[in-house]
Structure 1
C-alpha cells in the first residue's frame, strides 16, 4: 500500500540568496579598508593587477601612502628590465614618501640611483642577489640617503672600502645585513669587513654576517667598535671560535647571539655550506701527487686501450 504522505520538497540550494541577504560591493568599501586589504598583496600584484580592477581601487592604488613600502622580487616570470620598469613606476607612485624598499634578484646601479634620487627620506634599503648592482652604485646611492637606518646587501658585490664609505654616509645606520656563502673548507680568513664595520658603524644594534670569513680578531673589533649591539648573527662564520673569554665577552655585551653552527631554518636564502673536503692537506681540492697524472701518462697510458687494435692510432686525433 502506497504511503499517503507526500515526498518532502527539495531543500533550497545553500548558495541561493535569501530575501534580505546583502552581498557587499567590493568597489564601495571605505578607502582605508580597501587599502588595508591591498597592502596584503605585493607591489608587483598591485601594479600589474589590483589597480586595474575598478576605478575605486585605482584611486586607492594611486595614494602615495600605499607605496611607503615596496617589496619587489623577480621570481623568474619576466626579465630584469620588466621588473625595473615596474619598480620605477612604484617609486613614482610614492611621490617621495617611500621609506622602505626590498629588491631581490634584479636591479642595477641606475635603478638604485633612481630610488635614491626620488626617496631622500628612505629608512630601509634591502638588496639581495642583485648581481648588476656594484659597489660604486651602492656608494652613490648611500650618499643620497642620510636617514638610512637599515641596509641589507646579501650576495651582492660590495667591497670593504665601499662599506666604510657607506658607514660614513649613513650615520643613523642601526641594522646591517651582509650575507654571503658559508665556507667550511678551504679555510679562508679575512677581517676586512669586520674592521670596516667596527670603524664606521658605531650605532649598529643589529648585525648579520652570515657566512663571513671574519676571525676572532674581527669579532673583537666589532665588539669594541659597536657598543650598542643587541643582535649578532654569526651563522656559518666558521673561522670564529666562540669559546672561552671571547664567548663570555660576546654574551655579556650582546643580548642575542647566533653562533656559527646554529640552525638556519629561518634563513631566507639557500644555506648550503661549501665544504671542499681534502684527503691531502697540501691541496685544497683533495688531490695528491698520486692523483695527478703527467701529460705523457694521460695521453699514452690512459688511452693505450684505443691503440691496442691499431698500431697507427694517434692519441691526439682522439681529441681533435
Structure 2
C-alpha cells in the first residue's frame, strides 16, 4: 500500500511545519515543491516569526537566488522585509532582523502587526531610531526588545540620543504590561548614568537584562539595587580593568538565577 505523500498533508499540519523552516526556505524552496506547498506558504501563520540575519549584502546567495527565481532586479532588504510583513497579514509575533532598512519598515510593522511580542534590531538608521519612541505604544503585547544604543552619534547629539532612549523605555513602561526582557548593544561606548538610570526608573521589574558594552562597578550595583526582580543579568564587559565581585555585590546578586559578567 502506497504511503501518504507530503503534498497530501492536511493544510494546518503543513503550515505548522513550514512555519519552522526559516525565511530563506519559505521564500526560495517551499513554493517550488508543489502546488499544495505553494498555497501553504502563502498562509499568514507561516510568517509569524520574521527572522533575517546576514542578508544586508547583495553578494549574499539569497539575493542572487531571489532575483533569478522571481526574475526581478535591484531588490532591497527594505522591499523584502515589507513583502514578508505583508504576507504575515498581522500575525507576526517575532521580528528579529540584523540588517539595516528604511524607517518605513518599522512604521508598517507598527500599523500591521499590533500583536508583536519580540522585537530585535541589530542595526538602525537615524530615522528609525528617531521614530521608535512613538511606535512603542502600538505594541501592547511586547515582551522583549533588543536594539543598539549608540550608533547614531553621527546624526544625533548625545542629548538627543539620551532623550530618545528614555522615551522608548517610558513608552514600554506605560503600554507593555507583559514586558520582561531588554537587550542593549553598545559597541561604541559604555553604559553610564544616561543609560542605567532610565532602566531602573522605567523598568524596575525587568526579568532579563543583557548589556553588551562597558559597565563599571558603580552602575552595575545601581542595576542590582534598582531591578529587584531580575532572573537573568548578563553584562558583556565590566570595567576598564579586571576586578572581582566583592561581598556586597555577591549579596545584591544573590536573588538572580543567572548572573554572567565578562
CA distance in 2, matches of 1:111, 1:117: 10
* Residue 187 of structure 2: aligned partner: 181
SS of the aligned residue for 1:160 comes to helix
Moved over 6 A (4+): none
Q: Could you say if the C-alpha distance between residues 80 and 162 of structure 1 is closer, same or farther in structure 2, counting changes exceeding 3 Å?
A: farther
Q: Could you say if the C-alpha distance between residues 155 and 147 of structure 1 is closer, same or farther in structure 2, counting changes exceeding 3 Å?
A: same
SS of the aligned residue for 2:186 comes to coil
* Residue 118 of structure 1: aligned partner: 112
Deviations, residues 180-236 of structure 1 (Å, cap 9, x unaligned): 3387xxxx673321112111112210000022x332222222223211111000122
Q: Could you say if the C-alpha distance between residues 144 and 103 of structure 1 is closer, same or farther in structure 2, counting changes exceeding 3 Å?
A: same
Which sections of structure 1, spanning at least 5 residues, go unmatched?
1-19, 261-320
More strand by share: 2
Which structure has more RCO (C-alpha within 8 Å, separation ≥ 6)?
A: 2
Deviation at 1:53, TM superposition (A): 3.2
Give yes or no for contact 2:51–2:95 (8 Å, CA) kept in 1.
yes
CA distance in 1, matches of 2:192, 2:163: 14
Counting only pairs closer than 5 Å after superposition, residues 136-155 of structure 1 correspond to structure 2 as 136-154=130-148
* Residue 155 of structure 2: aligned partner: none
For the pair shown, the structure with the greater C-alpha radius of gyration is 1
Q: Quick one: which of 68, 75, 86 aligns to 2:48?
A: 68
Q: Quick one: which of 229, 240, 243 aligns to 2:245?
A: 243
Q: Paired residues, what number?
A: 235
Deviations, residues 65-112 of structure 1 (Å, cap 9, x unaligned): 212211122432249962222211221122212111111122222111
CA distance in 2, matches of 1:140, 1:81: 29
Counting only pairs closer than 5 Å after superposition, residues 206-285 of structure 1 correspond to structure 2 as 206-211=208-213, 213-239=214-240, 241-260=243-262
CA distance in 1, matches of 2:256, 2:78: 39
Give yes or no for contact 1:27–1:56 (8 Å, CA) kept in 2.
yes
TM-score in terms of structure 1 length: 0.65
RMSD of aligned alpha carbons = 2.7
Q: Quick one: which of 4, 10, 13 aligns to 1:33?
A: 13
Give yes or no for contact 2:150–2:188 (8 Å, CA) kept in 1.
no
Deviation at 1:44, TM superposition (A): 3.3
TM-score in terms of structure 2 length: 0.78
Give yes or no for contact 2:121–2:146 (8 Å, CA) kept in 1.
yes
Deviation at 1:140, TM superposition (A): 2.8
SS of the aligned residue for 1:89 comes to helix
* Residue 91 of structure 2: aligned partner: 97
Deviation at 1:174, TM superposition (A): 0.9
Deviations, residues 157-191 of structure 1 (Å, cap 9, x unaligned): 373322221222113321000023387xxxx6733
Q: Does 1:164 align with 2:181?
A: no
Q: Could you say if the C-alpha distance between residues 52 and 60 of structure 1 is closer, same or farther in structure 2, counting changes exceeding 3 Å?
A: same
More helix by share: 2
Deviation at 1:58, TM superposition (A): 2.2
